[in-house]
A and B are shown apart, each in its own frame.
Chain A
Amino acid sequence: MQFSGKRKKLIGSSQNDLYGHCLQFYGQPPLDNISLAEFETLAVERLKLLKTVENLGVSYVKNSVQYSKKLEAEFTSLNFPLRTELGDQKVQGGTSEYEKRRKDHISHFILRLAYCQTEDLRRWFIQQEMDLFRYRFNDLSSKYKTDFLHKNNLKYETVSAEEKNILKDKLINSSYGLSGITVEEYDFYKVPFQDALDLVRTRKVYLLAGNAYIPHSEIVTIVLNDFRTRLSKALAMTARSLPAVQSDERLQPLLSHLSHAYVGQDYSIQKNIGKISLEQIDSLSGKSFPLCMRHVHKALRENHHLRHGGRMQYGLFLKGIGLTLEQALQFWRSEFVKGKVDADKFDKAYAYSVRHMFGKEGKRTDYTPYSCMKVILSNPPSQGDYHGCPFRHSDPELLKQKLQSYKISPSGINQVLELVKGMHYQLACQKYFELTHSVEDAGFSLNHPNQYFTESQKLLGGGRDIKKEVEMSQKGQENPSSMSRPSQESSKQAHEEMGDLDSFFQDE
């Protein structure tokens, strides 16, 4: 594989050196020759792994027992390396540790190519790779952790015994599970707070004069920060050399398909544009809106106002279900003028942002509706806000009352609350779907408010058969456009492969 011009410089470093540890910083690109088929398999399997990392991160607390168990299972089934030493290859007939590490190495670099092109892709890739790295690093025994630091030449400033003594109480109170003895015994590292943002954000370290005091047990944070910085630089570099790779017509379609696979459907292209009238919205909000949208809709009708976060979440959802720009403007204006905003003020202060949502102002980005992940993870509601995910951002007691008011059966409510307690917000929402639509099994896996709406409409508009038809026709439309040269042998093969990939992501 020839990714860049660096290749020649690296001749001489033996492969065994490269794979001396089961974890690596991916400092050097692989130099092997591999077949196209292998190129593809490796990439798809790593993508599956990253996708699993993403999904688990939403359903479970990261690094909880369940999270780790599920992720470990995925490692085993996809044959990625985890914690074993190169020497002790006990698995007979299975993939050798060397092979696994090689796979880890090469597949990472392939996805770098696919995910370096836009800000969004880079962010997603870095996030998943970091979660992956954190999991693998935490899983190492302390000997291997030290070994890893050593091999990668990572040195951090330690806090002197004297200073530790002075700060003892504060250090104990800043981190979980520390006592006086452990503070004396273990090393603390002092780094600029910018290098330990995750710990700063959650107040898990002591901060003094811009330095974070990090207990040895949290050293993964600093290592991870290093990893992020390197990866982010590397992706920027890769993006620059990408044109050379893209000129290879065997790789180009493959890479672009790989990078499109991560989000699933984004619900931006709508066939049913203009099929919804404003009068329908109230009744639809009760029947087919997910709870988050039903809730902002109600707040909007009651207060005749929504703050920015609510307008974005709800406005893009409405756009996704088919409101035209004109309808959207009319919808927001008619509601806002009932409140404190007069028509003139609306046109000046709010109409711009509605047009902006439809890509008619500013950068002219055609914004896509928020996915569940985005609603759950970013921009949590604060005072005066009604957006967010009710399963994630409401007090359970209030959620219960709300569900009661929507006539959900007590046993149904308990099931929902149980899921909420386990932090399975999307599953809770899916349960809500099943309860409100009186079906046993929703038959899909919910990850987007607009998906909720579409599924609900399908269900209310007739049997399951219609749904299948729609799916088939969607698939039929998607594939030819992304794969326009089926005549070549290799890309035909790729086509089949990616058919699988498609179904994999649709199943998710």
Chain B
Amino acid sequence: MANEDYNPACLPDLLPLYYRRLFPFPQYYRWLSYGGVSKNYFQNREFCFTLKDDIYVRYQSFSTQNELEKEMQKMVPYKIDIGAVYSHRPSQHNTVKSGTFQALEKELVFDIDMTDYDDVRRCCSAADICSKCWTLMTIAIHILDRALREDFGFHHLLWVYSGRRGVHCWVCDDAARKLSVAARSAVAEYLSLVKGGEDTVRKVVLSDPIHPFIKYSLSVVERYFPQYAIVEQDILGSKESVDKVLAPLPEDIKKDLTTFFQKVKNPMERWEELCTLVEHKKSSSKKGGQYFDKEIMLQYCYPRLDVNVSKGVNHLLKSPFSVHPKTGRISVPIDLKELDTFDPFEVPTISLICEELEKPRTDEVEDEDMKDKENEQDAGERRRIRDYKRTSLAKYVKVFDNFLEAMTRSRKGEMLKKSDLQKDF
């Protein structure tokens, strides 16, 4: 993903400015403190900094927002990862008796990476993405977001663009953060349909009855499949990719289709014929329950999760608002209301927002400068808020703000409920 305005060599010059004036520390601290309900929640959280030349500094932890700020401004990490909340302060993990230092809680996280779709993408491979294959991420978010909310009953989901080729999901509900390893892996497996590695041809197998979750997911995939897979990816366009699509089908259908494809070149007609044949076979066979067409759709479009990332409580995941060192893009929260128009190439790079900051400011703010004097303490913070508001980062911080606001509201609701209950006694 080349972009004209960012040059990786400039990163060391831009990062100090970013951490000094743009990184949304107050919101970030507010997020990871979770209302301060359980003690030391922020203090016992692991951060991992990646410095120049891929030097990893694990088990960083901070007691206050101020300390985090100071440290980040001092160390200027190229990348920031967030780990678990531990039983002790991670920075002191060497001083506690071995075995007692344990990861206790973490958000339930999901990592969807475009490289995992390499066998079903024709536009790009590996770390490259384009607006065509980005549809896969859109589909993934639609499917997983619904399931996590409706099936699992979670409310506080933060979807984040990773800055390069994928998306992350942070499920932040209390219940999600407390899940055991077994529960995390069960959730991840419930959500996984595409199974098997390089040696598996048919990676999705459906059987009767089709679970409601799969039905919902199919309805999403069906909405995108014709335009995305048949037209844009043109999976029935060339010999090679046709072979791949047909590989999981039973021999008789494969034979009929090969003959048909010799006459008909239009991909959409080809796909319709495939569906007709599968349907026909299903109605004629007594067994029923053969869903080859649906399996193909899922194999090509269904979200592919890195289960290992979701499973481990102590697994690290790149933090929101961290910069991707290769692309320079900021890891920003995605507004689900505008998911279908989200364009990863529009996400601001660090160069862009730093440049925006340097532009001469209009005089809109003199008024506020006066107020600052009344409250010296907040002055610094306010200046920073004004700073990011002048850049294209603003709209993404707003998304983050809304997410935090919703969490605070529901926490207050919970507390009211609890105190009401107590009054009853």
**A, B assembled together:** yes
A96 vs chain B, min Cβ distance (A):
39
Q: Are B150 and A209 in contact (CB under 8 A)?
A: yes
B170 on the interface (CB 8 Å rule)?
A: no
Q: Are A398 and B152 in contact (CB under 8 A)?
A: no
Given the interface pairs A348-B53, A379-B308, A384-B118, the reply to whether A193 lies near B198 with Cβ below 8 Å is no
Q: Given the complex, which residues of A lie within 8 Å of B197, measured CB to CB? A: 380-388, 393
B307 on the interface (CB 8 Å rule)?
A: yes
CB-based nearest B residue for A344:
B53
Q: Given the complex, which residues of A lie within 8 Å of B98, measured CB to CB? A: 363
A278 vs chain B, min Cβ distance (A):
25
Q: Given the complex, which residues of A lie within 8 Å of B152, measured CB to CB? A: 193, 207, 209-210
B293 vs chain A, min Cβ distance (A):
19
Q: Given the complex, which residues of A lie within 8 Å of B285, measured CB to CB? A: none
Given the interface pairs A348-B53, A382-B197, the reply to whether A208 lies near B151 with Cβ below 8 Å is yes
B94-141 at interface with A (beta carbon < 8 Å): 98, 115-119
Q: Given the complex, which residues of A lie within 8 Å of B214, measured CB to CB? A: 203
Q: Are B116 and A201 in contact (CB under 8 A)?
A: no
A390 on the interface (CB 8 Å rule)?
A: yes
Given the interface pairs A173-B211, A383-B117, the reply to whether A393 lies near B196 with Cβ below 8 Å is yes
> C-beta contact mask, A285-296 vs B, less than 8 Å → 1, else 0?
000000000000
B155-185 at interface with A (beta carbon < 8 Å): 175, 179-180, 182-183, 185
Q: Are B199 and A394 in contact (CB under 8 A)?
A: yes
Given the interface pairs A206-B212, A207-B213, A209-B153, the reply to whether A395 lies near B199 with Cβ below 8 Å is yes
B212-258 at interface with A (beta carbon < 8 Å): 212-215
Q: Are B53 and A200 in contact (CB under 8 A)?
A: no
Q: How far is the CA of A381 from the CA of B203 in the complex (A)?
A: 12
Q: Are A393 and B200 in contact (CB under 8 A)?
A: yes
B72 on the interface (CB 8 Å rule)?
A: no
A349 on the interface (CB 8 Å rule)?
A: yes
B187 vs chain A, min Cβ distance (A):
7
Q: How far is the CA of A439 from the CA of B7 in the complex (A)?
A: 63
Q: Are B304 and A201 in contact (CB under 8 A)?
A: no
Q: Are B198 and A385 in contact (CB under 8 A)?
A: yes
A211 on the interface (CB 8 Å rule)?
A: yes
A59 on the interface (CB 8 Å rule)?
A: no
* Residue from B115, B180, B194, B196 with most neighbouring chain A CB atoms (10 Å): B196
Q: Are B199 and A200 in contact (CB under 8 A)?
A: no
Q: Given the complex, which residues of B lie within 8 Å of A207, measured CB to CB? A: 151-152, 190, 213
Q: Are A173 and B210 in contact (CB under 8 A)?
A: yes
Q: How far is the CA of A348 from the CA of B180 in the complex (A)?
A: 32
CB-based nearest B residue for A192:
B175
Given the interface pairs A348-B53, A385-B198, the reply to whether A200 lies near B154 with Cβ below 8 Å is no
CB-based nearest B residue for A402:
B199
Q: How far is the CA of A486 from the CA of B175 in the complex (A)?
A: 54
Q: Are B151 and A384 in contact (CB under 8 A)?
A: no
CB-based nearest B residue for A195:
B183
Q: How far is the CA of A202 from the CA of B210 in the complex (A)?
A: 12
Q: Given the complex, which residues of B lie within 8 Å of A386, measured CB to CB? A: 197-199
A507 on the interface (CB 8 Å rule)?
A: no
Q: Are A384 and B116 in contact (CB under 8 A)?
A: yes
Q: How far is the CA of A363 from the CA of B94 in the complex (A)?
A: 11
Q: Are B209 and A173 in contact (CB under 8 A)?
A: yes
Q: Are A172 and B209 in contact (CB under 8 A)?
A: yes
Q: Are B119 and A383 in contact (CB under 8 A)?
A: yes
B239 vs chain A, min Cβ distance (A):
20
Q: Given the complex, which residues of A lie within 8 Å of B190, measured CB to CB? A: 200-201, 203, 207
> C-beta contact mask, A108-150 vs B, less than 8 Å → 1, else 0?
0000000000000000000000000000000000000000000
> C-beta contact mask, B69-110 vs A, less than 8 Å → 1, else 0?
000000000000000000000000000001000000000000
CB-based nearest B residue for A382:
B197
B201 on the interface (CB 8 Å rule)?
A: yes
B116, B119, B200: which contacts A394 (Cβ < 8 A)? Answer: B200
B182, B201, B211: which contacts A397 (Cβ < 8 A)? Answer: B201
Q: Given the complex, which residues of A lie within 8 Å of B183, measured CB to CB? A: 193-194, 197
Q: Are B116 and A398 in contact (CB under 8 A)?
A: no
Q: How far is the CA of A202 from the CA of B213 in the complex (A)?
A: 12
A373-419 at interface with B (beta carbon < 8 Å): 379-388, 390, 393-395, 397-399
A190-248 at interface with B (beta carbon < 8 Å): 193-194, 197-198, 200-203, 206-211
A475 on the interface (CB 8 Å rule)?
A: no
Q: How far is the CA of A379 from the CA of B307 in the complex (A)?
A: 9
Q: Given the complex, which residues of B lie within 8 Å of A388, measured CB to CB? A: 197
A492 on the interface (CB 8 Å rule)?
A: no
Q: Given the complex, which residues of A lie within 8 Å of B186, measured CB to CB? A: 193, 197-198, 200-201
CB-based nearest A residue for B180:
A194
B265 on the interface (CB 8 Å rule)?
A: no
B55, B187, B196, B211: which contacts A174 (Cβ < 8 A)? Answer: B211
B414 on the interface (CB 8 Å rule)?
A: no
Q: Given the complex, which residues of B lie within 8 Å of A308, measured CB to CB? A: 308
Given the interface pairs A194-B179, A208-B150, A349-B54, the reply to whether A384 lies near B198 with Cβ below 8 Å is yes
* Residue from A345, A383, A390 with most neighbouring chain B CB atoms (10 Å): A383
B189 on the interface (CB 8 Å rule)?
A: yes
CB-based nearest B residue for A398:
B199
Q: How far is the CA of A316 from the CA of B119 in the complex (A)?
A: 29
Q: Given the complex, which residues of B lie within 8 Å of A393, measured CB to CB? A: 196-197, 199-200
B178 vs chain A, min Cβ distance (A):
9
A170 on the interface (CB 8 Å rule)?
A: yes
A173, A194, A202: which contacts B212 (Cβ < 8 A)? Answer: A173
Q: Are B308 and A384 in contact (CB under 8 A)?
A: no
Q: How far is the CA of A201 from the CA of B214 in the complex (A)?
A: 13
B357-377 at interface with A (beta carbon < 8 Å): none
B412 on the interface (CB 8 Å rule)?
A: no
* Residue from B154, B183, B306 with most neighbouring chain A CB atoms (10 Å): B183
Q: Are B199 and A174 in contact (CB under 8 A)?
A: no
Q: How far is the CA of A211 from the CA of B150 in the complex (A)?
A: 10
> C-beta contact mask, A242-262 vs B, less than 8 Å → 1, else 0?
000000000000000000000
B195 on the interface (CB 8 Å rule)?
A: yes
B326-346 at interface with A (beta carbon < 8 Å): none
Q: Are B154 and A197 in contact (CB under 8 A)?
A: no
B295 vs chain A, min Cβ distance (A):
14
B151, B185, B194, B213: which contacts A201 (Cβ < 8 A)? Answer: B185
Q: Given the complex, which residues of B lie within 8 Å of A381, measured CB to CB? A: 196-199
B202 on the interface (CB 8 Å rule)?
A: yes
Q: How far is the CA of A390 from the CA of B196 in the complex (A)?
A: 11
Q: Given the complex, which residues of B lie within 8 Å of A383, measured CB to CB? A: 115-119, 194, 197-198, 304
Q: How far is the CA of A395 from the CA of B196 in the complex (A)?
A: 9
A334 vs chain B, min Cβ distance (A):
21
CB-based nearest A residue for B126:
A340
CB-based nearest A residue for B119:
A383
Q: Are B212 and A382 in contact (CB under 8 A)?
A: no
Q: Given the complex, which residues of B lie within 8 Å of A384, measured CB to CB? A: 115-116, 118, 197-198
Q: Given the complex, which residues of A lie within 8 Å of B185, measured CB to CB? A: 201
Q: How far is the CA of A299 from the CA of B199 in the complex (A)?
A: 11
Q: How far is the CA of A379 from the CA of B185 in the complex (A)?
A: 11
Q: How far is the CA of A398 from the CA of B248 in the complex (A)?
A: 12
Q: How far is the CA of A363 from the CA of B99 in the complex (A)?
A: 10
Given the interface pairs A197-B186, A201-B190, A386-B197, the reply to whether A210 lies near B116 with Cβ below 8 Å is no
- Give 8 new A-B contacts, CB below 8 A, not counting A383-B119, A383-B197, A383-B304: A173-B215, A201-B189, A203-B213, A210-B153, A345-B54, A383-B118, A384-B197, A395-B201
A positions within 8 Å CB-CB of B: 170, 172-174, 176, 193-194, 197-198, 200-203, 206-211, 299, 308, 345, 348-349, 363, 379-388, 390, 393-395, 397-399
| Pairs A-B, 10 closest by C-beta atoms | A210-B153, A381-B197, A209-B153, A394-B199, A197-B186, A385-B197, A207-B151, A201-B186, A173-B209, A383-B116
Cross-chain pairs A/B with CB under 8 angstroms, 5 sampled: A208-B150, A308-B308, A379-B308, A381-B199, A397-B201
